[in-house]
Structure 1
């Protein structure tokens, strides 16, 4: 699950990197983005700082809701349903939805930055697109492959997501079945 944690902490780092200049010095950012040299208005500074705080908050929420930071005081805890969660299980109750929303955010930001780069030719948009594309790809990989709990058959031990089309995997299924019969 190292990739899962990389996405979580990478997202928080990327959003913090974007948020710091907006919160610390919105005047410089607004002056760099403005076509003419002028002092930024109060409302522009307000929106820049608000966006910076929102990005920082989003990064913290992604780290907390994906379960990267344990929010309990004990390593092993039994819930009301009798299910035991352990420190080795990186899943929190909201991990997959948070991962999906974070991935959609990065994909949208990557698309927006690429569209701006193709119209303006500014390399800062290309760098933003590259960073968001990498995080969107990692998030997509985590959605597809890192959330595979509960998909192993108890009878055969085979993966339930496999298909018989276009080729049948008789060897793997029979090998697992033979191991299951021997253990009884």
Structure 2
């Protein structure tokens, strides 16, 4: 069999496979994708639980960390230094912010719920939690003078991140684009009944949410 004949047979086989796929389209949920989403969701919940536990431990019981770090009777200390308490407190706040960000970004296997979500410009997953945490850190650092100028430097850096992040959460993006549906607010259904108008898409988005959670 020559090379030309082999090429013709392969092309005919591809054409037959394409016809079969067109006649019998595969529909239904993507089982592999749903399974992957569940694995990621389990990992996210476990990670968030561990980070939350460690965060609460550092914030509420910092001396327990000091107890775990002791290696013998000689190294035993009854109290922590101001620098240790300062670093443990702010590390616990940051870990709590990361745990919240992990929870808020768990993949949703439901297609209807993902379609009902806002379609506006997507922000960074750490934007909200980290901005709130840095704002809290800036406030606490401003009122903590026991570590000298370190508190002031941390306060300035955290305030820049926190205030800038909160501004981005509230005001970033075009004012003409709806944050709920991603539709252009300059469109209208007046006279011509434009289905792409912002008011129509917002109504459809609310109906999808009601049907989903009814």
TM interval, shorter chain, is: 0.3 to 0.5
Greater Rg over alpha carbons, structure: 2
TM-score, normalization: structure 1?
A: 0.37
